[in-house]
Amino acid sequence: MAADAELLEMILHLPLLCEDKNVPYMFVRSKRALGWACGLSRTIITSSVTIKEGSQLKQQIQSLPSLVAL
C-alpha cells in the first residue's frame, strides 16, 4: 500500500482486514515506487501477491515480509 495515497481513507481498512486474516502487509513510501516495483509506468496505491500452489516462487514469496522488515 502506498503511504502517499491522496485518499488514504480508501485503503485504511486493508491493514485491519489483513491482520484479521493473518495476511502480511506493508506500506511503501510512494505510489510511484509501488507502481515501479510492479513493473508499471503509472502510480498505484495498492497491489497484492498471491501464491500458486506448486509454484517454484512460493518460498521466495513467503520470505518477502521478513526481507522487507530488514
pLDDT per position as a tens digit, 10-67: 898 999 999 999 888 888 899 999 999 889 999 999 998 887 888 888 888 777 776 6
Give the pLDDT band of residue 68 (cuts 50, 70, 90). low
Q: Is the dihedral of CA 28, 30, 31, 36 positive or negative?
A: negative
What are the boundaries of each domain within the chain? 8-68
Confidence at residue 67, expressed as pLDDT on a 0 to 100 scale: 64
pLDDT per position as a tens digit, 25-35: 888 899 999 99
Tell me the CATH class for 8-68: alpha beta
Q: Model-level pTM?
A: 0.69
Confidence at residue 16, expressed as pLDDT on a 0 to 100 scale: 95
Q: What does the alpha-carbon distance between residue 41 and residue 29 come to, in Å, rounded to a whole number?
A: 16
Q: What does the alpha-carbon distance between residue 65 and residue 12 come to, in Å, rounded to a whole number?
A: 19
